[in-house]
C-alpha cells in the first residue's frame, strides 16, 4: 500500500504512540522520511508531544482550597480563646501521641529517679547540678561495689563447690587407696603433682603422721629434761 | 482533596487560559460534585474520572456562555501580532506561573476548537488513558483518537506560525 500524505497525517498519533507495527511502521517511516511536507510535520508533532508530556502541572493557588471549602461546607467561624485551644489539643488525642507521651514520661521518671530526685518528697535543691553529680557518682560506686561483691561471692561459692566435688570423687575411690601409706620419700609439705593418681587426702594423712612422729621423738627429750 | 483540586485547576486553566476563570470554575466543579455526590455510581468510572467529566461539562458550558465575548478562534494571517498582544495582555503572575514554552503552548491551545482542545489537554497534559477520555467525553474511542491526532497537528501548525519550534 502506498502511503499518502493524508494517510500519514491520519495515522501520525498511532505512529508516535507505537501503535504501528511491522510493515505498517516501515511504510510510514519510508514515506515520512522522504516527503518534504511530512518529515517536518512528524518532527514538529513529535517534539510538541514530548514537550507537553514534560510540562509541569501548575500549582494550585493558595486560597483555592479554602474557597472551595467555604463554597461547599459554608463559611467556618474562627474559634478563639479557650475553645480554640481545646480544639487544638483535641487534635493531639490520638493513640500515637498518647504512646509517645507515655514513653517520654517514663523516661523522665527513670532519669529523675537515677539522679536522686525524690518523687515523693521533691525538693528543688535536688535539681542542682552538684547534687545530681554527687548522686550519680554515689550510685555508680554503689553499683560497682555490689557487682564486685557479687563476683567475689560467686567465686567463693565456686571454690567451695569444686572442693566438695573433689571430696565426693575421692570418697568414691577404693578403700585401699584411701589408707594412708607411709612414704619415706614423702616430705612434709610436698605436693603430689608428680604422682597425680595419689589422692590429696593421703598426702595430708602422711603429713599428720610425720608430725606425730616428730612430736613423739621430742617427748623423750622432754621427759629427760623434766627428770633433771 | 488537594490532589483533585490541583488536577481540576490545571484542566480549567489549560482550557480557559485565564487564572480567575480557572479558580471560579474549579470552585463550581467542587460545588457541583458536592451537590450531586449522591448520584455518583461506580459505573461512571473512578471518582477522578467522574470529577473530570463534571469539569469538562462545566468548561463547555462556560465556553458557550462566553463565546460571544471572545476573539474568534479561526486561524488568520495576523497570528504573530496576536501572539504579541496575548503576551502583553497576560498578567505578570500568570507569566511567572508558566515557563516560556508553556506560555506559548497555552497561547496556541486556546486557539484550538473546544473539541480538539479538551482532547489534547486530557491526553497530553493530564496523561489520561484513551478509555478514560472516552468516558469523560462520552464519545467512541475512534473519535477520541481522531480528535487527539487532529488537535496535535493543528497545535503544531499554530506554534509553527507563531515562530515557535518545540525541541
- What ipTM was assigned to the predicted interfaces of this complex? 0.77
Query: According to the model, what pLDDT value does residue B75 have?
Result: 44
Residue A44 CA to residue A32 CA, distance in Å, equals 12
pLDDT beyond 70 at B166: no
pLDDT beyond 60 at B133: yes
| Cβ B151 vs Cβ B118: under 8 Å | no
Q: Average pLDDT of B102-123?
A: 91
Task: Give me the tens of pLDDT residue by residue for chain A, a chain 228 residues long.
Answer: 678 899 999 999 999 999 988 888 999 999 998 999 899 999 999 999 998 988 888 888 878 888 888 777 776 666 677 777 777 777 677 777 888 889 999 998 888 877 777 777 777 777 788 888 888 888 889 999 999 999 999 999 999 999 988 888 887 765 555 555 555 555 555 555 555 445 666 677 676 677 677 766 665 555 455 444
Residue A80 CA to residue A78 CA, distance in Å, equals 6
Task: Indicate the pLDDT class of residue B83, thresholds 50, 70 and 90.
Answer: very low
Residue B56 CA to residue B118 CA, distance in Å, equals 8
DSSP type of residue B163 = T
Q: Average pLDDT of B127-134?
A: 92
Q: Do A45 and B98 touch (CB under 8 A)?
A: no
Q: For residue B12, which of B46, B74, B54, B68 has the smallest C-alpha distance?
A: B54
Highest mean pLDDT among A195-204, B29-38, B59-68, B128-137: B128-137
Query: According to the model, what pLDDT value does residue A213 have?
Result: 72
pLDDT beyond 90 at B117: yes
Query: According to the model, what pLDDT value does residue A172 have?
Result: 74
Please report the DSSP string for A72-129 in residue order: HH-PPPPP-HHHHHHHHHHTT-SHHHHHHHHHHHHHHHHHHHHTT--SSS--GGGGSH
Question: Which residues are CB-neighbours of B71 under 8 A, at least 6 positions away?
Answer: B82
- Is some CB atom of chain A closer than 8 A to the CB atom of B36? no
Q: Which grid cell is B15?
A: 482550557
Contact residues, chain B, for A58 at CB < 8 Å: 6, 9-10, 13, 97-98
The answer for B 72-131 residues in CB contact with A (under 8 A) is: 97-99, 101-102, 105, 120, 124-125, 127
Task: Indicate the pLDDT class of residue B140, thresholds 50, 70 and 90.
Answer: very high
Query: According to the model, what pLDDT value does residue B156 have?
Result: 93
Domains of chain B: 2-161 (1.10.10.10)
pLDDT beyond 60 at B40: yes
CA distance A102 to chain B (A): 34
Please count the CA atoms within 13 angstroms of the CA of A124 that sit on its side-chain side: 0
Q: Within a 10 A sphere around the Cβ of B117, how many other Cβ atoms?
A: 24
DSSP type of residue A186 = P
| Cβ A125 vs Cβ A132: under 8 Å | no
Amino acid at each position: 500500500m502506498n502511503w499518502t500524505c493524508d494517510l500519514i497525517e491520519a495515522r501520525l498519533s498511532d505512529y508516535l504512540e507505537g501503535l504501528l507495527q511491522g510493515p505498517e511502521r516501515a511504510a510510514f517511516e519510508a514515506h515520512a522520511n522522504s516527503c518534504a511536507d511530512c518529515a517536518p510535520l512528524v518532527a514538529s508533532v513529535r517534539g510538541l508531544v514530548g514537550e507537553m508530556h514534560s510540562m509541569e502541572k501548575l500549582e494550585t493557588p493558595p486560597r483555592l482550597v479554602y474557597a472551595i471549602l467555604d463554597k461547599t461546607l459554608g463559611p467556618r467561624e474562627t474559634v478563639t480563646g479557650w475553645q480554640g485551644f481545646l480544639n487544638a489539643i483535641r487534635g493531639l488525642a490520638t493513640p500515637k501521641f498518647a504512646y509517645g507521651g507515655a514513653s517520654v514520661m517514663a523516661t523522665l521518671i527513670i532519669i529523675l529517679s537515677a539522679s536522686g530526685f525524690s518523687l515523693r518528697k521533691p525538693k528543688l535543691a535536688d535539681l542542682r547540678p552538684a547534687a545530681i553529680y554527687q548522686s550519680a557518682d554515689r550510685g555508680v560506686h554503689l553499683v560497682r561495689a555490689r557487682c564486685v561483691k557479687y563476683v567475689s561471692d560467686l567465686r567463693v561459692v565456686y571454690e567451695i563447690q569444686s572442693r566438695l566435688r573433689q571430696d565426693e570423687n575421692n570418697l568414691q575411690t577404693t578403700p585401699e587407696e584411701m589408707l594412708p601409706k607411709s612414704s619415706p620419700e614423702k616430705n612434709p609439705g610436698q605436693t603430689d603433682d608428680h604422682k597425680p593418681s595419689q589422692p590429696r587426702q593421703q598426702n595430708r594423712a602422711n603429713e599428720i603422721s610425720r608430725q606425730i612422729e616428730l612430736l613423739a621423738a621430742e617427748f623423750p627429750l622432754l621427759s629427760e629434761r623434766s627428770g633433771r | 482533596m488537594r490532589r483533585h483540586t490541583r488536577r481540576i485547576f490545571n484542566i480549567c486553566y489549560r482550557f480557559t487560559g485565564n487564572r480567575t476563570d480557572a479558580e471560579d470554575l474549579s470552585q463550581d466543579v467542587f460545588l457541583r460534585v458536592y451537590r450531586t455526590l449522591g448520584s455518583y455510581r461506580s459505573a461512571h468510572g473512578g471518582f477522578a474520572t467522574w470529577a473530570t467529566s463534571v469539569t469538562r461539562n462545566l468548561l463547555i458550558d462556560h465556553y458557550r456562555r462566553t463565546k460571544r465575548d471572545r476573539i474568534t478562534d479561526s486561524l488568520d494571517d495576523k497570528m504573530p501580532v496576536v501572539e504579541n498582544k496575548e503576551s502583553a495582555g497576560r498578567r505578570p503572575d500568570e507569566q511567572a506561573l508558566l515557563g516560556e514554552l508553556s506560555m506559548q503552548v497555552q497561547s496556541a491551545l486556546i486557539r484550538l476548537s473546544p473539541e480538539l482542545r479538551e482532547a489534547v489537554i486530557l491526553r497530553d497534559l493530564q496523561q489520561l488513558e484513551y478509555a478514560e477520555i472516552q468516558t469523560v467525553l462520552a464519545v467512541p474511542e475512534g473519535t477520541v483518537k481522531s480528535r487527539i491526532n487532529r488537535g496535535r497537528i493543528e497545535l503544531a501548525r499554530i506554534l509553527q506560525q507563531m515562530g515557535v519550534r518545540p525541541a
